[in-house]
A and B are shown apart, each in its own frame.
Chain A
Amino acid sequence: MSKKFLSGNEAFAEGIRLARPQVISAYPITPQTIVVERLSEMVEDGSLKAEYVHVESEHSAMSCAIGASAAGARAFTATSSQGLLYMAECLYYASGGRFPIVMMNADRSTALPWNIYGDQRDSLSQLDSGWIQSYAENAQEALDLALMSYRIAEDKRVSTPYMANLDGFILTHTYETVDIPEREQADRFLPPYETDNRIDLENPKNMAFSAGPDTNYIFKYKEHEGILASREVIKETEKAFAGIFGREYTGLTENYRTEDAEYIIVTLGSIAGLCRETADKLRESGIKVGVVRIRYMRPFPNEEIAEALKNAKAYAVLEKDISFGNEGTVFTNVNSALKKAGVDVKGYNFIGGLGGRNISAGDIEKIYSDIAEGTDSVNFIGIGGTGNGK
């Protein structure tokens, strides 16, 4: 293990180097660019043996990754924002074809107004595309997820593509100390990709076919089953990861001081750290607060969230997203989890950080006090409530 001072993008690229993808299709877009730049340097200096394909668009980047995966190769690509939206058509081909591609997405706002800064509206708009979606908090977790992603995606029970999300700039461009595992450890953790779901001249089969009304929905059911199976595989993978690398992760969510918490913020991504610090500060003055960090939006942690929130007096969902005309999508998902579990706790939605706007410690403190007093259903940090249920 060696320690290095790296950005989130660089750490993720180190994780991908250790995962030995055989094909990388690359189209740069801010704030993802550094990842594909570092990978091209690694291919150039021979420390990563991969076919590096410069493509003409994100649509082609994903098409290329699908082709590579269909040939039995481990494939990687990365994108962000408009790029993710441009390749959206192909996301469904990848998931429907059960190709375990890994893609990094640097979470960034979507136009218009045009903006390169971080929010999560790009990836959350693709929750229904059939991809596993993780959200890292820091550069170390980003590197570790890069390694774990292939093992999860390629598991035969899962066979589902994996989108690893990193908050644009706040995570992708922030430098911190990262432990880089040894090559030998990584190889022990992640064996080479082997699959029957590939073009094989000795054993020809029909791939990427059409299916009519009778069978189509059975394929969709199987696809759903695959992504649900990743719940267990994520746990197993994290256990194996801890065994080799000594770093432990907590599955689909990470709870912080929630056991006896009366007020809980549910959030995702890099803002979770500031939420935990604020929780510590409020705890010192006797206010019982906690944080649930969602690590995976798909598969969604229904049971985990219901369990963490069931004894709270109120919760807030803090997200960098808005589904215009309704509420934040994470809030919708969290509410559904509680309803299914029969948990009746008052919840509020806080939208913030859109287009990269700063969320301060003061903002987080105010969320805790607002939900203790009661507020509108949906609130825009720094602007105000939008009325109950309106």
Chain B
Amino acid sequence: MKEIIWLGRGGQGAFTAAKLLGAAYTIDSDGKYALAFPSFGPERRGAPVRAFTKLDTKPVADRSQTEKADYIVILDDTLYSPQLRELLKEEGSIIVNSKNAIDGVRVFDAEGIATQFRLPTVNTVMFGLLIGLSGVVTQDNAEEAIKGYMPEKIQERNVNALLRAVQEVAE
């Protein structure tokens, strides 16, 4: 099982990214299963939010919060702390949206990419970076998930931002 923890602030769309990943993973195959859920509770703009995606080739029966993740994706660098490593598997990695380098962490200026596509949030950019680095889902399936689950008028910009992010990692 692959487990991804998403960290963001209320309104940044961390849970949307968690859902898109789950939807993309399961979109064209019967032998694939996913769960996506937020850290439950009242939603408040700006408050720290965690979301979880679990991907497996058998039904995911464990609905508890991930204790050891393959990837931690952080949409806001003020949420990063070195203690987060305790939530990582040995070979796991952390991806952060930041303009500044952080020791031992993959850092990308996701906001810069989002701005190019007139997106107020970085969630689909971070989704694209995760795909580029991990290959957990294909670019095509991610695109299909955005088209299936995001409002029509913002689909194109998000797809383009996602594809740009995948490319960013390839470079």
Contact = CB atoms under 8 A, between A and B. Distances in A.
B60 interface: yes
B72 interface: no
A28 to B, nearest CB: 14
A111 B30 CA distance: 42
A274 B145 CA distance: 28
A237 B107 CA distance: 55
A274 B36 contact: no
A1 to B, nearest CB: 11
Interface in B36-54: 36-38, 40-42
Contacts of B41: 116-117
Contacts of B23: 5, 175
Contact of A173 (B22, B38, B60, B62): B38
Interface string B15-49: 00001001100110000011111101110000000
B36 A174 contact: yes
Contacts of A173: 37-38, 40
Given A3-B26, A5-B22, A117-B40, A174 B64 contact: no
B64 A274 contact: yes
Given A116-B42, A117-B40, A277 B62 contact: yes
B43 to A, nearest CB: 10
A5 B61 CA distance: 16
A359 B64 contact: yes
B63 interface: yes
Nearest to A358: B64
Contact of B35 (A174, A356, A360): A174
Interface string A95-126: 00000000000000000000011000000000
B65 interface: yes
Interface of B: 19, 22-23, 26-27, 33-38, 40-42, 59-65, 67, 145, 149
11 contacts: A3-B27, A5-B23, A116-B41, A170-B63, A173-B38, A176-B34, A176-B60, A273-B60, A273-B61, A356-B40, A359-B64
Given A5-B145, A175-B35, A359-B64, 11 more contacts: A5-B19, A5-B149, A116-B42, A169-B37, A170-B37, A174-B37, A175-B22, A176-B34, A273-B60, A273-B63, A360-B67
